[in-house]
Structure 1
Amino acid sequence: MGTGPFVFERWQRGSHVLLKRNPAYWAAGRPLLDQVVFKFVPDPAAAALETGAVDVAGLLPSDLDRVAKLPQIAVDVRTDGYLNNMETLEFNLDSPYLRNLRVRQAIAHAIDKEFIRKAVFDGRFESLSSPIPKVLSRYYAPAERQYAYDVQEANRLLDAAGFPRKGGGERFALTIYFYPGSASFRATAEYIKAALARVGIRVTVQTADMALLTRRVYTERQFDLNINGVGALYDPTVGVQRHYWSTVHGQRVPFNNASGYANPEVGELFRKVAEEADEDRRAALLRRFQQIVGEEIPLLPLIALQTVSAQNRRVHRYYNSIDLTAGDLSDAWVDEK
């Protein structure tokens, strides 16, 4: 059912999904491909791309330079003003520990974003200081309160919050989930586990598929920390607001306000931004928003993510949409082998 260029044909668990050309597709002469096969590759996809087992794959940043040297492969790294994806750390504010502002600030100080950028993302991309991306330059105004990597300050804040080290040096324990299917997000979760251990917080990394993650984070609220991939999108009222908007929290809507954050002033600021036509007044309202959430940090922006993919050079017009890999492949075609 549906109006897309391809229709479902077969799903083989653990192997692949096969889509066939939709003969009733509304665009005459499209799609150009007879079928598309999405393969499930448990290990990093670079090897499958190198051997020709797949034609297109997402890559780990650490694989980029090596794969780019292969004559048959074209590597594509893009930043755009539409998706504006970022890696963030979400705090569950229902937690008896994380509802304490000093604890959140301590965790922010205990995390070295530059280490994540260099070790997890191979020195690529940029670390973040605001939930509004730099590409939206009219609105971008990182708050004065920033959280430099400072283990001593993290320990001081945790002591001040009333969570001293107990026997063995542990203060309390948390769980952390991460967006499934991303080796980089898993590596970030493992780094945060190690980083927080240095300040006396024991972290358990939990793995989950998308269905279980959605239930744990948004429905059951059974999590403490979550590494998420957030699309800030092309305007703050579209991509950013939903992560701070208290109206959606009680409704438990997936991928909206995972933290359970509620600040009436922030809600009023976004209401005014949505109604305001003057760009300078919008910018002033959004500067105030960044000041507030920079202080309260219901979520901690970590890394600005680019869209990274690689494809065999026999593949043409893989992208046909402003949101890149979310395109429908209706214009894609391949040279015969």
Structure 2
Amino acid sequence: MWKVLVAALAVVAGASVSSAVPAVAQETKVPVKGGTLVVALEPEPSRLYLSSQTAVIVQSQIYENLVTLSKDYKPLPRLAESWEISADGKTITFHLRKGVKWHDGKPFTSADVAFSILELNKKFHSRGLSNFGTVEAIDTPDENTAVFRLSAPSLAIWSAFGADNATIVPKHLWEGKDPFTNEWINKPIGTGPFVFKEWVRGDHITLERNPDYWDAGKPYLDRVLFRVIPDAGARAAGLETGQVHYVPVTPVPLSDVERLKKLPNIDIVTDGFGTFAPMYFFDFNLENPIFKDIRVRQAFAHAINKQALADVAWYGFAKPATTPVPSDQKQFHANDTQQYAYDPAKAERLLDEAGYKRGKDGVRFKVTHLPVAYGEDFRRSAEFIRQQLKRVGIELEIVNYDLAGWLRTVFAERKFDTMTAYYAANADPQIGVHRRFWSKTFNRASWTNASGYQNPEIDKLIEASHVEGDPKKRAELIREVQRVAQRDLPSITLLEVSLFGVKVKKLHGLDPNPDGLYGSYGSAWLEK
């Protein structure tokens, strides 16, 4: 078995490792130095680490990871110049880049790697257990070597090293402090191409060029200005006038995309989203007695027309999902799971059987619904779902929060009945999907198991897949996770969402690799 695993890891890691910096999109023009890149954000992050998608976009300019991913999902050097994998797949030795400094002038060392992975990412990141549950220890024989000791080989760990899953922070500033409230959470010190300058809440975040960046000659830009622009129409107008150069996520009204595509100064960005594969879903709070009856959950599923939701609320930038794993991940996707076709009549019968008859006003019961605070698309989708459920006698009261309030209410206070959001499925279901159903992620962090689903059967399957070294056996375990999740239905997976960004044509050098959405702007530049 381990021979199969090591061969698979060799494919992931590549036959040889170069210390070269990962390439960005091919450019025929010579980069120009200077200028301020203006990036629009929505929603505003609640904090700049262990937070939301927009927070990661900002932090990725300040912090860095050991590796990043190439277009074919192989690891490429970042803070690590090279690495070796032991024959049994249980030891990974990283050789770190020398001469790298934190923005406060202190040297970056292997101690920072060990602290960041074991004490922060593994313990507090929403995907920490899935990503690094098998990492038992990290040895630091010298300042430039970090040796990962695994209890069992992991086929998913290389994907976990990328994007926001394994951010490296300075141990000398973070050690002994609360990871969610310490002073560095909102004024970060990193090793990246840009240095944090200021955050004016509700308005902007400013980063300045790092003059001591280890990648000589970069970054090209003088600064990056992240502007908080909640209104989608205003973001579109900013792009058209050139006051905004780039909107990486939730860019413009979906109804406006076709018009923008025709403008001579605008590009639609589709590269850089490969590892995200967002899955839009509807979660029940299983602590609510109403939702303990599976017939009620099934009724909700039958009452929602997924195709109409994709076409009307998402303007075709989504398609119906059949399982929690994206259909494009063919090696993992299960084609034989229980499905819940749009059937309002069946939904009504199930609700009647569960004892929830219509009242004189036609209403069976009322529950609250909290759409994730990611903009108009999610509010519009919640309204669509509300109308669908009203037809079968369910009154959905939509409650809108800003992102900080939504995270607190859903995950910390658990004061909700239902919610909708999307999670990135990532390059491997172990990283992005299992956190929705694994009992060990419940009440552990934001962006995990909001339903509170706990089932020893699915836990056993998930945990077995995390240590299975045979790719075929592991894939079957992951397919069985989907079958159980679709059978028990603690959460309705509604749509596979298509992400895109919008930029002005004079912006060049964005990272096109699979996690490029969270990529560095170190190679970005503005044409004069």
Instruction: Note if 1:217 corresponds to 2:217.
Output: no
In the alignment, which residue of structure 1 is the partner of 2:256? 63
Distance in structure 2 (CA, Å) of the matches to 1:318 and 1:79: 9
Matched residues, number:
335
Q: CA deviation at 1:61?
A: 2.7
Pairing of 1:101-112 with structure 2 (within 5 A): 101-112=294-305
Q: How do 1:248-327 residues align onto structure 2 when only pairs under 5 Å count?
A: 248-249=441-442, 251-319=443-511, 321-327=513-519
**Paired position in structure 2 for 1:100:** 293
Q: Deviations over 1:73-100 (max 9, x none)?
A: 1112358542211211111111111222
Q: Which has the higher contact order (CA 8 A, sep 6+)?
A: 1
In structure 2, what residue type is equivalent to 1:224? Answer: D
* Displacement after TM superposition at 1:112 (Å): 0.7
CA 1:322–1:287: 2 relative to 1, 3 Å: closer
Relative to structure 1, the CA distance from residue 328 to residue 68 in structure 2 (aligned partners, 3 Å threshold; closer, same or farther) is: same
| Distance in 2 (alpha carbons) for counterparts of 1:190 and 1:104 | 19
**1:187 correspondence with 2:375:** no
Tell me, in whole angstroms, the C-alpha distance in 2 between the residues paired with 1:327 and 1:24: 19
Q: Pick from 228, 236, 242 the counterpart of residue 46 of structure 1.
A: 236
Q: Partner of 1:84 in structure 2?
A: 277
Output the CA distance in 2 between the equivalents of 1:28 and 1:327: 18
From 72, 78, 93, the counterpart of 2:265: 72
Question: Is the 2:272–2:517 contact (alpha carbons within 8 Å) kept by the matching residues of 1?
Answer: no
If you compute each CA radius of gyration, which structure gives the higher value, 1 or 2?
A: 2
Q: Is this contact kept in 2: 1:189–1:227, CA < 8 A?
A: yes
SS of residue in 1 equivalent to 2:297: helix
- TM-score normalised according to structure 2 size: 0.61
TM-aligned CA distance change 1:64 to 1:78, over 3 Å: farther
Write out aligned runs for 1:148-167 (5 A): 148-167=341-360
Percent same amino acid among aligned pairs?
38
Rounded Cα–Cα distance in structure 1 between residues aligned with 2:526 and 2:306 = 40
1:325 Cα offset (Å): 1.8
Extract unaligned runs of 5+ from structure 1. Answer: none
Q: 1:8 aligns with which of 196, 213, 216?
A: 196
| SS of the residue 2:480 aligns to | helix
Q: In the TM superposition, what is the alpha-carbon distance from 1:280 to its structure 2 partner? A: 2.0
State the secondary structure of the residue aligned to 1:269: helix
Query: 1-side partners of 2:316 and 2:272: how far apart?
Result: 16
Structure-2 change in CA distance of 1:32 and 1:128 (3 Å): same
SS state of the match for residue 307, structure 1?
coil
Q: State the Cα distance separating 1:287 from its structure 2 match.
A: 2.3
In structure 2, C-alpha distance between the alignment counterparts of 1:283 and 1:254, rounded to whole Å? 27
- Structure-1 separation of matches of 2:513 and 2:199: 26
SS at match of 1:104: helix
* Aligned CA-pair RMSD: 1.6
Deviation at 1:319, TM superposition (A): 2.4
1:309-334: CA deviations, max 9, x gaps? 11111000122553122112111000
Alignment check: 8 A CA contact 1:55 1:312 kept: yes
TM-score (norm 1): 0.95
> Per-residue deviation at 1:105?
0.5
Say if 1:61 and 1:324 are closer, same or farther in 2 by CA, change over 3 A. farther
Q: CA deviation at 1:182?
A: 2.2
4+ aligned runs moved over 4 Å, structure 1: 78-81
| SS of aligned partner of 1:37 | strand
Q: Shift of the alpha carbon at 1:2?
A: 1.6
2:321 is aligned to 128
CA distance in 1: counterparts of 2:357 and 2:272, whole angstroms:
43
Aligned to 1:27: 215
Unaligned runs of 5+ in 2: 1-188
Q: Which whole-Å CA distance do the structure 2 matches of 1:42 and 1:214 have between them?
A: 18
Contact 2:271 2:512 in 1 (8 A): no
2:313 alignment partner AA: V
1:34 partner amino acid: D
- The 1-side partners of 2:267 and 2:448 are apart by 35
Separation of aligned partners in 1, 2:485 and 2:331: 18
2 CA distance for matches of 1:193 and 1:22? 48
CA distance in 2, matches of 1:74, 1:156: 49
Contact persistence 2:389–2:396 (CA under 8 A)? yes
CA distance in 2 between partners of 1:30 and 1:179 (Å): 36
- Contact 1:90/1:298 (CA < 8 Å) preserved in 2? yes
Supply the distance in 1 between the matched residues of 2:387 and 2:470 (Cα, whole angstroms).
46
Alignment counterpart, residue 334 of structure 2, candidates 131, 141, 144 = 141
State whether residues 82 and 234 of structure 1, in contact with CA within 8 Å, keep that contact through their aligned partners in structure 2. yes
Are residues 321 and 73 of structure 1, via their aligned partners in 2, closer, same or farther at CA, if it must alter by over 3 Å?
Answer: same
CA distance 1:283–1:11, change in 2 (3 Å): closer
Amino acid at match of 2:481: F
Is the 1:81–1:135 contact (alpha carbons within 8 Å) kept by the matching residues of 2? Answer: no
Structure 1 SS opposite 2:382: helix
- Residues 26 and 99 (structure 1), Cα distance of their counterparts in 2 relative to 1, 3 Å cut: farther
The answer to whether the 8 A contact 1:320-1:329 is kept is no
Equivalent position amino acid for 1:12 in 2: V
Letter in 2 for 1:169: G
CA drift of 1:123 comes to 1.9
Q: Distance in 2 between matches of 1:8 and 1:104?
A: 46
The worse-fitting range, judged by mean Cα deviation, of 163-172 and 137-146 is 137-146
Matched, 1:202 2:395: yes
* 1:26-61 deviation per Cα after TM superposition (whole angstroms, max 9, x unaligned): 222111100111112222121221122201122333
